[in-house]
């Protein structure tokens, strides 16, 4: 399930076709149910992709081509909140089960992102410590080299 979650407009979303498949209904029926309840889906819950966004997805093989039975309109995508709202629009037992699976996938994705941020912070901290140590070690080597230079012996000339 988590592999179906896409990042579009800096939001994690699911395509209408993927959700329709999970809910076990044709995309057309799925979108009709959503459109009958459109007031439940503000723009931060669901939005339609632009042609450019759709072309990018098609180039990444996420969607089928628009020829021979493929899509003839731009797809809708649903954010986590939009997906949660779907359970009130599609109220079958399967819809509830799918909703729970999807919510778990979004939670898991957040946990992974959080642990990644924590790991990056720790790596950055170690890197700065090592950089500081490198500077100090370099200073020590410079001081040792200075100490290793033997002073020139001054020889006194004999005579006038």
pTM exceeding 0.75: no
Q: Which CATH class is domain 2-113?
A: alpha beta
Q: What is the pLDDT of residues 11-50, one digit of tens each?
A: 989 999 999 988 888 999 899 999 999 998 999 999 999 9
Got the DSSP string for 30-72? HHHHHHHTGGG--TTTEEEPPHHHHHHHHHTTSS--SSTTS-S
- For strand 6-8 and strand 11-15, is the pairing parallel, antiparallel, or unpaired? antiparallel
Euclidean distance between CA atoms 63 and 46, whole angstroms: 18
Encode 108-120: b = buried (16+ Cβ within 10 Å), e = exposed.
eeeeeeeeeeeee
Q: What is the pLDDT of residues 42-98, one digit of tens each?
A: 999 999 999 999 998 888 875 555 555 567 789 999 998 888 888 778 767 777 777
**What are the boundaries of each domain within the chain?**
2-113
């Amino acid at each position: 399930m988590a592999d179906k979650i896409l990042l579009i407009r800096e939001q994690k979303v699911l395509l209408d076709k993927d959700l329709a498949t999970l809910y076990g209904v044709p995309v057309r029926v799925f979108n009709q149910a959503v459109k009958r309840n459109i007031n439940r889906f503000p723009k931060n819950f669901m939005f339609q992709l632009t042609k450019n966004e759709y072309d990018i997805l098609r180039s990444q093989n996420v969607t089928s081509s628009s020829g021979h039975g493929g899509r003839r309109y731009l797809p809708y995508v649903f954010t986590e909140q939009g997906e949660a709202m779907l359970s009130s629009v599609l109220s079958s037992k399967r819809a509830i089960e799918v909703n729970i699976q999807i919510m778990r996938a979004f939670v898991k994705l957040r946990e992974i992102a959080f642990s990644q941020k924590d790991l990056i912070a720790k790596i950055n901290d170690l890197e700065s410590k090592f950089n500081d140590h490198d500077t100090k070690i370099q200073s020590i080597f410079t001081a040792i080299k200075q100490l290793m230079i033997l002073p020139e012996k001054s020889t006194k000339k004999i005579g006038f």
